[in-house]
């Protein structure tokens, strides 16, 4: 290559790096995902090269896998996720220096014309550069092709592609590190579940007029060092895509206590609407006796399709499952939960209970809710009751079922069963 060509290629490579960095910045700000970044980089390369098809491939176990594919729809393109023998690809010939990075007419070029894919796809112009991996390995290739003869392409365009391939290689390595991190964190959580690190505590619900224990709410506790509050575990489960595993495990452990309780005492178990809609969870629920179970859906759970959830719930509610809306009053969503799902129980959030004896405004709100619940055929339960004054006001407003530290803290199974034996 002449010094002039090298200068042009280096200049174009630097220009490509600047463009790539700008795309990277935009993708990170707008989405924070490596996948979007790689899609944009590939699209930029394909358009710059004037090609119909572009792809990012990975070399693995003797095969070429198509990780990302960009196409304008005019030329047959490989399917994302497909793979083919590496030895039958133009990519491996480029990487092993058996073919040049740029071929303007692959139908006649001696290094590529014998490949079945070249003839089958009608490939003429073909451009390919290696994507660097870790430890100086080759991850795969960045490739573009067209059924047209692209006479205008030259070393500068290969310099552009090479610079973009470096950026893509960096992004792919970051993506792999992120995937490895996700895999490691998932394994840790699953190991905690397998080793019995998820334990349950139960907090009794009291009839404030009789003092009877009428229900218990099951609450997850993770026995790990360092300690992390339950909400952090479940939030991480959502982030890692294993929330259903966590919630199902906690639900199953929580409801198991019913075998040791009087038949008129129900067990409240928290669950998101998303997990309830999972077919595997519904199959699990079909195998359970549901007469003593209350499914508690929190105010914070986003529900995309209320009709779908209500329809799915009806099968199980007809078998005795009760539905509660938890944390009512903590936000706007709880009102829609109640209107759309028609729960059996409405659990007042602690924000409506704390110091209710000193707030005429909250008293008015709760008084209206009592009337609303009565009209809907639902019962109200006040959570977080901590003082006698709060209890007296709740009674005066017509709320009988209460739960909170004034009566009992969450307790392990042995302590709970001792409590029931003594009352």
14 pLDDT exceeds 70?
Answer: no
How many whole angstroms separate alpha carbon 111 and alpha carbon 276? 57
**Sheet of 125-132, strand order:** 83-85, 63-71, 53-60, 138-146, 125-132, 102-103
Position 73 scores a pLDDT of: 87
If you search the block for the tokens 């307790």, which residue do you land on?
411
How many whole angstroms separate alpha carbon 22 and alpha carbon 399? 60
> With b meaning 16 or more CB within 10 Å and e meaning fewer, what string describes 328-339?
bbbeebbeebbe
List of domains in the chain: 3-181 (3.30.450.40), 196-422 (3.20.20.450)
Inter-residue contact 16 to 161 (CB < 8 Å) = yes
How many whole angstroms separate alpha carbon 159 and alpha carbon 144? 14
Position 299 scores a pLDDT of: 63
* pLDDT tens track for 173-192: 888 888 899 999 999 999 99
Q: Retrieve residue 123's tokens.
A: 């490939």
Question: Residues 374-387: what's their mean pLDDT?
Answer: 95
* pLDDT tens track for 27-47: 443 334 788 889 999 999 999
* pLDDT tens track for 236-257: 999 999 999 999 999 999 999 9
- The rounded percent of the chain whose pLDDT value lies above 70 is 91
Phi, psi of 53 (to 5 degrees): -135, 140
pTM of the model: 0.75
Q: Retrieve residue 153's tokens.
A: 């392409």
92 pLDDT exceeds 60?
Answer: yes
Q: What are the contacts of 391-394 at 24+ separation with CB within 8 A?
A: 391/208, 392/357, 393/356, 393/357, 393/363, 394/208, 394/353, 394/356, 394/366
How many whole angstroms separate alpha carbon 142 and alpha carbon 144? 7
4 pLDDT exceeds 60?
Answer: no
Phi, psi of 273 (to 5 degrees): -60, -35
Position 32 scores a pLDDT of: 47
């Amino acid at each position: 290559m002449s010094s002039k060509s090298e200068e042009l290629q280096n200049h174009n490579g630097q220009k490509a790096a600047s463009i790539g960095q700008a795309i990277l910045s935009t993708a990170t700000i707008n989405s924070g995902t490596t996948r979007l970044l790689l899609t944009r980089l590939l699209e930029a390369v394909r358009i710059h090269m004037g090609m119909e098809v572009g792809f990012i491939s990975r070399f693995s176990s003797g095969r070429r896998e198509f990780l990302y594919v960009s196409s304008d729809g005019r030329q047959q393109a490989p399917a994302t996720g497909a793979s083919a023998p590496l030895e039958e690809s133009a990519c491996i010939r480029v990487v092993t220096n058996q073919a040049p990075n740029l071929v303007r007419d692959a139908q006649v070029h001696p290094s590529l014309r014998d490949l079945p894919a070249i003839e089958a796809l009608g490939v003429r112009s073909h451009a390919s550069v290696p994507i660097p991996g870790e430890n100086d390995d080759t991850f795969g290739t960045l490739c573009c092709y067209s059924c047209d003869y692209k006479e205008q392409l030259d070393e500068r365009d290969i310099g552009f592609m090479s610079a973009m391939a470096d950026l893509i290689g960096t992004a792919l390595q970051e993506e792999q590190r992120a995937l490895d991190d996700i895999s490691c964190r998932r394994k840790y959580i699953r190991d905690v579940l397998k080793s019995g690190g998820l334990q349950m505590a139960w907090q009794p619900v009291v009839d404030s007029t009789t003092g009877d224990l009428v229900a218990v709410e099951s609450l997850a506790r993770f026995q790990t060092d360092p300690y992390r509050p339950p909400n952090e575990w479940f939030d991480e489960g959502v982030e890692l895509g294993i929330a259903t595993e966590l919630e199902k495990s906690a639900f199953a452990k929580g409801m198991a206590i019913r075998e040791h309780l009087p038949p008129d005492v129900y067990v409240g178990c928290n669950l998101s609407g998303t997990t309830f809609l999972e077919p595997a969870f519904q199959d699990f629920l079909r195998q359970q006796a549901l007469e003593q179970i209350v499914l508690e859906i929190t105010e914070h759970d986003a529900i995309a399709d209320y009709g779908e959830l209500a329809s799915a719930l009806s099968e199980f509610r007809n078998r005795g499952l009760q539905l509660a809306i938890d944390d009512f009053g903590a936000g706007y969503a709880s009102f829609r939960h109640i209107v759309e799902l028609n729960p059996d129980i409405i659990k007042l959030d602690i924000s409506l209970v704390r110091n209710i004896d000193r707030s005429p405004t909250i008293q008015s709100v709760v008084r209206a809710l009592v009337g609303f619940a009565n009209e809907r055929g639902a019962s109200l339960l006040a959570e977080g009751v901590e003082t006698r004054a709060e209890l007296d006001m709740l009674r005066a407003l017509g709320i009988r079922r209460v739960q909170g530290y004034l009566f009992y803290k969450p307790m392990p199974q042995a302590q709970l069963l001792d409590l029931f034996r003594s009352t």
